[in-house]
Amino acid sequence: ATGRVTRLKSRFQLHATPASFLDLAVRPLWPAMFGFGTCNDCRCGGDRETDTVKVSFIPPTNACDKENEAPCLVSVKEVEFQDGAADEQKRLEREEEDRRQAREEEEEEAERQYQREVKRLQVLERQRLEEIERQRRSQEEQRAREEEQLRQRQQGEAQRRAEEARKQDQVSAFLSKHGFKDTNEKKKIKSGLLSSASGYPLHVAVRAADAEAVGLLLWGG
């Protein structure tokens, strides 16, 4: 029993008081405290070497006494650490959300800029095609005008040549009729019934009052 009491004393850390005084003060109370006496084992047939003593110990109400001070401090630190970790997690989540929103805004702005650039390029392309079409029409119109001018020149030249040929035929017919070889030939011509004089085809035409012949001879020179 003494060995068991010693173990109990060691378990409950009763050595805070000097051992001699503790033994004197507490030893008389052991039978009442732990439910055994010097003769109980004899009366109950107990064995001092093998019997055990059951003790019910209720820890103090204040869990943060000196013996439990370190675990309590650790618990507070754990709570603080957990709170700090939760706050850090929330901060990281907010930062990630901010970055996500920033990326979305950048992507949206990039898309808007892309659409604006596409529209600008489409306008430029439309203007380029319109300018090409305008130049094509202008060139076609210029070519048409030049072709018309050429046609008119050719037509005029053909008419001029035809008119010259007609006049030349008339001059030739007049000269042949009056015995001249060309418009500059001079020969004797009759001026009356019995007289004659020298003259040119033009003089013959004048005397004959042939205005058309005069004009043709002047033209044929």
For the full predicted model, state whether its pTM sits above 0.85: no
Average the pLDDT over 74-90 and give the result. 74
Lowest mean pLDDT among 33-47, 91-105, 129-143, 144-158: 33-47
End-to-end CA distance of the chain: 175
Domain ranges within the chain, ordered by starting residue: 82-220
Average the pLDDT over 76-95 and give the result. 81
171-180 — which CB contacts under 8 Å span 24+ positions?
Answer: 171/216, 171/217, 171/219, 171/220, 174/201, 174/205, 174/210, 174/213, 174/216, 174/217, 175/201, 178/204, 180/204
**Which has more pLDDT, 154 or 55?**
154
Residue 139: pLDDT band (50, 70, 90) is very high
107-114 — which CB contacts under 8 Å span 24+ positions?
Answer: none
Residue 11: pLDDT band (50, 70, 90) is very low
pLDDT at 98 over 60: yes
State the pLDDT at residue 199.
79
